[in-house]
Amino acid sequence: MSKGFLLVLSGPSGSGKGTVGKALMEKRSDIMFSVSVTTRKPRAGEENGKNYYFVSEKVFEEMVKDNKFLEYALVHNNYYGTPKDFVYEQIEKGEIVLLEIDVQGALQIKRNCKDAVFIFLLPPTMDELKNRIVKRGTESEEDINTRFENAFKELDFVGEYDFFVVNDKIEKAVEDIEAIIHAEKLRVKRQKDIKQKIISLGGIIHE
Amino acid sequence: MSKGFLLVLSGPSGSGKGTVGKALMEKRSDIMFSVSVTTRKPRAGEENGKNYYFVSEKVFEEMVKDNKFLEYALVHNNYYGTPKDFVYEQIEKGEIVLLEIDVQGALQIKRNCKDAVFIFLLPPTMDELKNRIVKRGTESEEDINTRFENAFKELDFVGEYDFFVVNDKIEKAVEDIEAIIHAEKLRVKRQKDIKQKIISLGGIIHE
């Protein structure tokens, strides 16, 4: 039985990680979604337990104290965290767990979870990045500018990631991520007793 | 401009690296083949400069002295070597260079060339491995037994490789290798100035 892995899909605001992650999940039934805990207010259409677990600051701080997070961070005045137990249990069972997360969170996960696979989602151009942040339409002009400046700075962290995927066309970005998943399933380091499997009756065959 | 990489397709006798490598090259025009130098006699249908460079022991030893090999090894009483300059020049130009090589050679390359991508091709079962070695039909019974014993021992080295691919069906094995190539082209470490490309007019888009 091979171990699964945590697939960290990350990038700045406006890189489109939400959209690409959603398209990937719709196409693939073999990937689990890691739902984050947050103290921010739900946006229109967001459901508790599906998009996020929406909690109060008090509850969040309790969870931090109990060491319940793989990472957590303050982003735009709200807390976000990834519940640890869920991720580890699924990986041990052989599952691929998808985590959409901002750059701060991804870097924290990198320190705690060496075997995760890190993908940096890139906007094709800076103009397109700005367009996407503006189009979201849920923020004030000041918020938009702050997001754009943060996004620009965060591009410097691409070097900390394993893979980059350019989100110019969603279906192309999803194909890139699928190739990464396919390859990562063939990683020797996550397999136990490859030789034994071949020696055993039945051997190893493609599904 | 991104760097290419050396793709090392390796495995024991009977794993089918020759057949799978050939099928991959027929499907993909964007991969270059690294032709090895050898002192062994050509088999029926093999061409000098295409399958191997067939040279005398004297010539081979000269090349070793001149440090012209990325790796070389004595396998079944014949020398095999990978010409260094060819590989490095192509990688710098952004090419993917495929090298089919035995396990000994792959391990030597791993010591000299950290950025290469190592794939271990596996037979689905030990029976199938034996069948393939017997079917080749060019060796004596003693040679066949030696090859089988070596192949069995060499399975222990799978842990030194990045990826494993099971060769039960050729087309499936080729698809696995193509996914690995696709993913490796998205490796951050082989890219220069990703941020600069996005800032520049034009940005990055899918081909």
pLDDT of residue A51: 83
> Which residues on B lie below 8 Å from A179 (Cβ)?
179, 182-183, 186
The mean-pLDDT minimum among A97-101, A140-144, A152-156, B103-107 falls in: A140-144
And the tokens for A122? Answer: 């890139």
pLDDT of residue B199: 85
CB contact under 8 Å between A125 and B198, yes or no, is: yes
- Residue A194 CA to residue B4 CA, distance in Å, equals 29
Selected residue with higher pLDDT from B113 and B63:
B63
CB contact under 8 Å between A187 and B162, yes or no, is: yes
- Residue B207 CA to residue B205 CA, distance in Å, equals 6
List, for residues A168-202, the tens digit of each pLDDT value: 999 999 999 999 999 999 999 998 888 888 888 77
**B204 touching chain A per CB within 8 A:** yes
Nearest by CB to residue B166, choosing from A128, A166, A204, is A204
Band (pLDDT 50/70/90 cuts) for residue A75 is confident
Residue B56, pLDDT above cutoff 90: yes
- Rounded to 5°, angle at Cα B99 from B98 and B100: 120
Total beta-carbon pairs less than 8 A apart between chain A and chain B: 119
And the tokens for B50? Answer: 């295409």
CB contact under 8 Å between B122 and A162, yes or no, is: no
- The conformation of residue A137, written as its DSSP 8-state character, comes to -
Cβ atoms B119, B161 nearer than 8 A:
yes
- The pLDDT mean for chain B works out to 91
List, for residues A101-139, the tens digit of each pLDDT value: 889 889 999 988 888 999 999 998 888 888 888 887 667
Measuring CA to CA, which residue among B114, B103, B52 is closest to residue B82? B52
Cβ atoms B8, B99 nearer than 8 A:
yes
Rounded CA Rg of chain B: 18
Locate all alpha helices (DSSP H) within chain A, ordered by sequence. 17-27, 57-65, 84-92, 103-112, 126-136, 141-154, 170-185, 194-199
Band (pLDDT 50/70/90 cuts) for residue A153 is very high
Residue A82, pLDDT above cutoff 90: yes
Cβ atoms A109, A70 nearer than 8 A:
yes
Measuring CA to CA, which residue among A7, A10, A2, A69 is closest to residue A33? A7
pLDDT of residue A62: 96
**B192 touching chain A per CB within 8 A:** no
CB contact under 8 Å between B168 and A204, yes or no, is: yes
List, for residues B126-177, the tens digit of each pLDDT value: 888 888 888 876 678 888 888 889 899 999 999 999 999 999 999 999 999 9
> Which burial class, exposed, middle or buried, applies to B77 when counting CB atoms under 10 A from its CB (0-12, 13-18, 19+)?
exposed
- The conformation of residue B31, written as its DSSP 8-state character, comes to E
Band (pLDDT 50/70/90 cuts) for residue B102 is confident
Is A94 within any annotated ligand binding site? no
Measured between CA atoms, the residue of chain A closest to residue B169 is A206
Measured between CA atoms, the residue of chain A closest to residue B175 is A182
Measured between CA atoms, the residue of chain B closest to residue A187 is B163
List, for residues B111-121, the tens digit of each pLDDT value: 888 889 999 99
CB contact under 8 Å between B203 and A158, yes or no, is: no
Classify strands A117-122 and A5-10 as parallel, antiparallel or unpaired.
parallel
- Residue A136 CA to residue B183 CA, distance in Å, equals 30
Domains of chain B and CATH, by start: 5-34+95-199 (3.40.50.300)
Residue whose pair of structure tokens reads 């041990």 in the numeric block: A92
Measuring CA to CA, which residue among A8, A18, A24 is closest to residue A132? A18
Which of residues 105 through 144 in chain A touch B, CB cutoff 8 A? 120, 122-126, 128-129
Choose the mutation target among B9, B197, B204 for the interface with A, i.e. most A CBs under 10 Å.
B204
Residue B2, pLDDT above cutoff 80: yes
